[in-house]
Chain A
Amino acid sequence: MTAQAPTFPIPRLRRALLACGLAAALSAPALARDTAADKVPVAAMSQATALETFDLVWQQVDQSSYRVGDSGVDWDKVRTGYRPRAQQANDPAALREVLQEMLDLIGDSHFVVIPEAAMALRAAESKAEGSDEATDPAGTGRYATGLEVRLVDGQLLVTDVEAGSPAAAAGIAPGWALASLKDQAVAPMLKEIAALDSEPARQRARIVLQAGVQSALDSRDSRTPLPMMLVDGQGNDRELALTPQPRRGAPMQVPMLPPAWLQVEAGPRPLPGGGCAGVVQFNLWVPAVADQLDAAFPQLRDCRGVILDLRGNPGGVMAVMMRVAGHFVSEPTTLGTLTTGGTSLNFRALPRKVTADGTLVRPYTGPIAVLVDQLSMSTSEMFASGMQAVGRARVFGTQSPGMALPARTVQLPTGDLLMYAFAQYSDPLQRRIEGVGVAPDQAATLDRNTLLAGRDPALDAALDWITNGGAVGTATSATPPVSTKEQNR
C-alpha cells in the first residue's frame, strides 16, 4: 500500500522542509514562526496576483542554471498542469501549497517557498501583545527547553540535555523517549513514515519530523509551558510541562533569511593522558561564527586536536566555510566548486596566519575531527565533505542527508520568498553531495542503551582518535554513500 505523506506537527511547512536545504538550514526559526504566521489574517488574493506569482516561480526555476530538466522533470508540462491550479488559489497560503507541490516534483533540496510571515521581525506585533523579554515573537529560537532529540531505532530519543536548562532541572536524561509533544503522539507519525512507499521519502520525512520537533522544543514563548510525555530509562511514563528559558547566544539576521538565534561554543576539553581537544559547536553558518571562532581559537591552539561538532547544524551562508577552514589549512585549499552557466567558483580556504588582534600565527596543523548526523545539512555537508576530501579531517557520526545546493531567494508578489538552486556543487573529489550526503570515515551510531549510559559515541570516537594521535586516512568503517536519486529511479 502506498501511504500518503504523514501529518506532522506543523503541516504547513511539511513540504517546505522536504525540499529544503538552506531553508531547512534555518528551518527552526521558520517553523517556530509558523504559529505566528497562523495568526496573520489571510488576505484575499486576486487571480492576477496568483498567476503573476506562479509565473515568476516557474520562470526562475526554468531559467536557473541548475537545469531541473536534468532531474528528469518536464518543466513545460509541469507548467501546463499547475498553472490552472495556481489561478484557483484564493489566498497566499493556498497558492504556496500549489507552488511547493510543484517544486517538490524536482526532487532536490533548496526548492522551497518560505512564507512571508517567517521572514518578518514583527516588532509591532511584539508591542501589541505586551510582550517583553519573556517572549520571542520573531521565533528566533531564543527560548529553549534544553532538549535535543533524534530518531534512533524507530524512536524519538533525547540525545542531549543542556546543563542548567529546564529539561535538566526536570531530571530528563539522554535516552529517554519522547512519546508526545503538545498532545500530539509521536508513534502514529512514525507509523505513517514507515508506511511511505520509498526509502528516500521515508528519509526525508524523518528529517522533517526531527527538525519540526526540535523547532517546537526550541522556540516557544517562555511563559507557555510545553506539555510532553516521555518514557524514562526504566520504562516509566513521565508527564512533564517544560517552560522554555532564555539560552546563551545572540539574535542573528542574515539578509533574505529568517531571523535566527546563534549559538557558538568553543573551548578545550581535557584528554586522558594530558592535553586537550578543542571542541567547537555552532548552529548556523553565518559570518558572526567566523568572528567568534577567531576570538576563541587562541585557547584551542595548543590542543592535541580540534573537533568541529556540526550535528544538527542545518547550514547557512556557504562562503563562511572558507574562513572557518582557513584556521586548519597550511596552503590555499579548495573545499568545493560551484558551477553555474559555464562559470565555476572555487570555495577556497586561505591559511589563517594572523589573529584578529594582529598576532602572527601558523595555521593549526593538529588533527581535525568533524561530527555529522542526519540533521547536518547544506554548508555543514559541504564543509565536512571538503575537509574529508582533501584529507584534512576525519568525519565521525552518521551519514548526512545530502541536502547541499547553492541557492538564491527571490521575493514573490505575495510577499513570500522563493528559494531555488542556481548551481551545482561538488567537493574536491568531484563528489556530488546533493542526494548522497557525507559518509563518515568512522560511523558512530546511536542506540538507546548507549544514550542511557550517558555516552556520546561520535564525540567519544573523535576524542579517542585525537588521544591516539589522530591520523587521517585510517578509516575503519566508512559507510558507502547511498544516492537518494538512484533510489528514486
Chain B
Amino acid sequence: MNTSHKTHKTRTSSALRLAPLALGMALAAALAPAAFATDPLPEARSLIDRHIEAVGGADAMRAASVATVKGRFEMPGAGVSGPITVASSGHDQVATRVELAGIGEIRSGINGEVVWSMDPFTGPRLLEGKERAAQIEATHPDAATRADSFVASARTTGLVELGGQSCYRVALVWRSGRESADCYSPDSGLLVATESVQVSPMGELQVTTTMGDYKEMAGMKVATRSEQQVMGQAQVITVESIELGEPDPSLFEMPAPIKALAGAPAEAAAP
C-alpha cells in the first residue's frame, strides 16, 4: 500500500467493477504517443504526430504491441491492489489479468473476433456493441496512433486544464461512434490526459485519465503511471516492465466459460 494514501482511503465496489475497462484504456494510453507544439491551437494531427515522435515513433509503438507488460493495479482508496499482466501479440491476441486479494481475478481479452471479460461481479461474458469497440480501441496499435482507420475526426478544441495540468485538448470521434478526447502537453508534446466514456453493463461513466512518469522502456518512452478518476475513486496503474517479443502462449488461453460462450450459438452467448 502506498503510504501516501494512508489517510485518504476510500472504497467502492462499483468503481472496482469498472476496473477492466479502466485497465485496458489506461494501459493503451500509457503506451500511446507524445509531441512538439508551439502554436496556441495546433492542428490535431500535428499534436498526435508530435506525441508519436516523442515516445519513439510509430514503429516502436507497433513493436510494443507484441510484448508482455507487467505492473501494478491499485485503488488506493479501496485498499485494493495487485499485480497486473497484459500480454499482447498484435491487435487480435490480447489478455489482461489482475489479481486482487479478497476480491478475485479480473480478466479480459481479445482472441481474434472474440472480445471477452470475466470478473467477480458479472461473471464470464462476451462483449458487444460499444463495450466491444472500446476494448478493441484500447488495445489496437492503430488506435493508439489515432490512425484514420480508427479515428473519423480529430479536432483541437483549446488549451485546457485537465488532470491538474495545462494541455491541448483534441476531441476524437471514433469510427465506432465513440467520442473521447486526448490532451497533449505544450512543452513535451506527450499525451498527459484523456477523457472518455466508459461503457459497462452498469451504464456509462465519464472518466478522466492522467498519464505521467514517462520513462525509457523497451526502446520507447512509456507513461509508467496512469491514474483514472471514476466516481471520485482513483485507479492507478504502474508499469514496471515491458518485455518485447511473443508472450507465453498460455497467457492467451481463454477461461473455460469464455471458450464455451465463444463456441456457442450467438443467442446463447449473448448476455
Contact = CB atoms under 8 A, between A and B. Distances in A.
B103 interface: yes
A332 B201 contact: yes
Given A319-B17, A360-B268, A409-B10, A252 B102 contact: yes
Given A341-B231, A350-B125, A412-B7, A360 B260 contact: yes
Contacts of A287: 102-104, 120-121
A410 B77 contact: yes
Q: Which interface residue of A294, A357, A408 has the most chain B CB atoms within 10 A?
A: A408
Nearest to A53: B7
Nearest to A358: B256
A344 interface: yes
A239 B201 CA distance: 55
Interface in A431-445: none
A27 to B, nearest CB: 17
A417 B103 CA distance: 20
Given A254-B103, A355-B257, A323 B202 contact: no
A338 B13 CA distance: 12
B167 to A, nearest CB: 24
Contacts of A318: 13-14
A341 B123 contact: no
B9 interface: yes
B177 interface: no
Interface in A252-280: 252-256
A410 B8 contact: yes
A254 B78 CA distance: 10
Interface in A351-391: 351-360
Given A332-B201, A350-B125, A360-B260, A256 B231 contact: no
A107 interface: no
B12 A422 contact: yes
B271 A351 contact: yes
Contacts of A168: none
Interface in B223-271: 231-233, 255-257, 259-261, 264, 268-269, 271
A482 interface: no
Interface string A309-327: 0000000011110110010
B103 A255 contact: yes
A360 B256 CA distance: 10
B124 to A, nearest CB: 6
Interface string B92-134: 0000000011111000000000000000111111000000000
Contacts, number: 129
Interface residues of B, number: 44
A90 interface: no
Contacts of A352: 123
Given A255-B103, A408-B10, A290 B120 contact: yes
A319 B261 CA distance: 22
B257 A354 contact: yes
Contact of B121 (A254, A319, A356): A319
Nearest to A414: B7
A347 B202 contact: yes
Nearest to B14: A345
Contacts of A340: 231
A413 B6 CA distance: 8
A348 interface: yes
B80 interface: yes
A322 B202 CA distance: 10
Q: Which of B13, B101, B271 has the largest number of chain A CB atoms within 10 A? A: B13
A406 B264 CA distance: 37
B206 to A, nearest CB: 8
A294 B118 CA distance: 14
Contact of B231 (A320, A332, A343): A343
B261 A323 contact: no
B9 A410 contact: yes
A197 interface: no
A345 B12 CA distance: 12
A411 interface: yes
B79 A255 contact: yes
Nearest to A286: B102
A69 to B, nearest CB: 19
A291 interface: yes
B105 to A, nearest CB: 10
Nearest to A354: B257
B256 A357 contact: yes
A106 B264 CA distance: 52
B147 interface: no
A360 B6 CA distance: 45
A348 B260 contact: no
A354 B126 CA distance: 12
B164 interface: no
Contact of A341 (B120, B232, B261): B232
Given A254-B102, A353-B261, A354-B261, A345 B203 contact: yes
A442 to B, nearest CB: 30
A484 B121 CA distance: 31
Given A345-B205, A360-B264, A319 B102 contact: no
A290 B17 CA distance: 15
B14 A406 contact: yes
A358 B260 contact: yes
A408 B11 contact: yes
A256 B75 CA distance: 11
Contacts of A341: 231-232
A413 B122 CA distance: 35
Nearest to B16: A319
Interface in A283-302: 286-288, 290-291, 294
A467 interface: no
A346 interface: yes
Contact of B11 (A256, A290, A355, A359): A256
A417 B8 CA distance: 10
B12 A406 contact: yes
20 contacts: A255-B11, A255-B79, A256-B78, A317-B13, A323-B122, A323-B123, A341-B232, A345-B203, A353-B261, A353-B264, A353-B269, A354-B257, A358-B260, A360-B268, A406-B14, A409-B9, A411-B9, A413-B7, A422-B12, A422-B232
Given A353-B261, A360-B268, A411-B7, 8 more contacts: A255-B100, A322-B121, A343-B205, A345-B14, A357-B256, A358-B259, A408-B11, A410-B9
Interface of B: 6-14, 16-17, 77-80, 100-104, 120-125, 201-203, 205-206, 231-233, 255-257, 259-261, 264, 268-269, 271
